[in-house]
Structure 1
Amino acid sequence: MKQLLLAAALAMIAAQGNALSCLRPDPIETFQRLAAAPESYFVLYGQLTFDEAELPAGVLTNQTRAPDPIAARFAGNGLSRDGFTIDYHSDVTLQIECGGPWCGSARSGVDAVYFVAASDPPVTMQAGPCGGMIFEEPSAAVIEMLTSCMQGGACSPQPLQ
């Protein structure tokens, strides 16, 4: 009987080991990490609009391919040394990424900060399973700190809220 209970407990622990474990992403930490990367990135603030019906529903059972890209439109501003002052309105691509059966997501029509690899239009916005490239409804303090980071000033991650 003890062996059966031990086997059941081990099976439960092993199943939990397959769960996705993510640290809470922070937009300032993301800025710092990408600023140190060899690639160039845009930091955009505004709204992405797209058909939310095209998002993958919940967890994916077919892990053989990534979800199809979603056509979207971005309206907002890009970050410069003066803040989010560069008008940026463009067609974009939203690419949902998955880690195992867990997939990222985004919401249409919500103010957000987007970190986007610099490329010719249309740029691709990545929504990973652990987040980190899209930060919805940022506080005024986050917007101010991103501007400070861009200016080479204070650049400290935000306390958990």
Structure 2
Amino acid sequence: MRWLVAALVLCTTQAQALSCLKPDVVRTYKEVDASPDRWGAAVGRLDFDESRLPEPPQNDPNAAPPETPLRAQLVGKTLDRDGFTKPFQGNVTLIVQCYGPWCAQPKSGRKYLVFLKREPNRHVAFADPCGTRLFADPSREDLDRVNSCFRNGPCTEQGLP
């Protein structure tokens, strides 16, 4: 009987799906703004070698590397007092994260709203399976919401009063 219980527990564990809170640009803005680290925001085209994206090994889906750094190029605009207006073109380290068997799958050549961590001699972007730091094809509304937060205007997360 114990083996049956153990088998059922194992089956339910493997069948669980990743549960994420719906990503929101304002929630992310507030998180990075409260961080002691230096962060910025940019919108633009992100290019990298997609063949280097991590995939969970077939024999052990939980053995995916927690982080895979990729060299990327970002061409776009960074956020300043007037909105996303300051030109940016440069190298970015894209950290692709896996949570167990779930790995982020960003697409090269796509437009993103990117929250960039500023480290000595580099900018770092994070792609996680929940999509909380890298927002594909951002809407004008989302860009305006981030700009409003940056300018100390209304800064309300979606779905919250």
Partners of 2:62 and 2:8 lie apart in 1 by 28
CA contact (8 A) 2:66 2:97 kept: yes
Partners of 2:68 and 2:145 lie apart in 1 by 34
State the secondary structure of the residue aligned to 1:106. Answer: coil
Partners of 2:91 and 2:46 lie apart in 1 by 9
For the structure 1 residues 63 and 149, does the alpha-carbon distance in structure 2 shift closer, same or farther, using more than 3 Å as the test? same
State the secondary structure of the residue aligned to 1:148. Answer: helix
For the structure 1 residues 73 and 121, does the alpha-carbon distance in structure 2 shift closer, same or farther, using more than 3 Å as the test? farther
Partners of 2:84 and 2:73 lie apart in 1 by 18
For the structure 1 residues 28 and 115, does the alpha-carbon distance in structure 2 shift closer, same or farther, using more than 3 Å as the test? same
2:122 maps to a residue whose letter is: P
CA drift at 1:11: 4.6
CA drift at 1:128: 1.5
For the structure 1 residues 16 and 79, does the alpha-carbon distance in structure 2 shift closer, same or farther, using more than 3 Å as the test? same
For 2:142, the equivalent position in structure 1 comes to 142
Partners of 1:36 and 1:51 lie apart in 2 by 32
For 1:52, the equivalent position in structure 2 comes to 50
Partners of 1:121 and 1:115 lie apart in 2 by 17
Counting aligned pairs with the same residue, the percent is: 34
For the structure 1 residues 66 and 12, does the alpha-carbon distance in structure 2 shift closer, same or farther, using more than 3 Å as the test? closer
CA contact (8 A) 1:92 1:121 kept: no
What is the count of residue pairs matched by the alignment? 154
CA contact (8 A) 2:64 2:98 kept: no
Partners of 2:64 and 2:146 lie apart in 1 by 37
State the secondary structure of the residue aligned to 1:143. Answer: helix
CA contact (8 A) 2:78 2:84 kept: yes
Partners of 1:15 and 1:66 lie apart in 2 by 18
For 2:69, the equivalent position in structure 1 comes to 69
Structural mapping, 1:94-105, within 5 Å: 94-105=94-105
1:116 maps to a residue whose letter is: L
CA drift at 1:136: 0.4
Partners of 1:149 and 1:99 lie apart in 2 by 29
CA drift at 1:13: 3.2
CA drift at 1:156: 1.5
Of residues 19-28 and 44-53 in structure 1, the stretch that sits farther from structure 2 once superposed is 19-28
Structure 1 unpaired stretches of 5+:
none
From the two aligned structures, give the one with the greater strand fraction.
2
CA contact (8 A) 1:25 1:131 kept: yes
2:22 maps to a residue whose letter is: R
Normalising by structure 1, we get a TM-score of 0.83
Structure 2 unpaired stretches of 5+:
none
Aligned Cα RMSD in Å? 2.4
CA contact (8 A) 1:91 1:121 kept: no
Structural mapping, 1:25-44, within 5 Å: 25-44=23-42
CA drift at 1:66: 4.2
Normalising by structure 2, we get a TM-score of 0.83
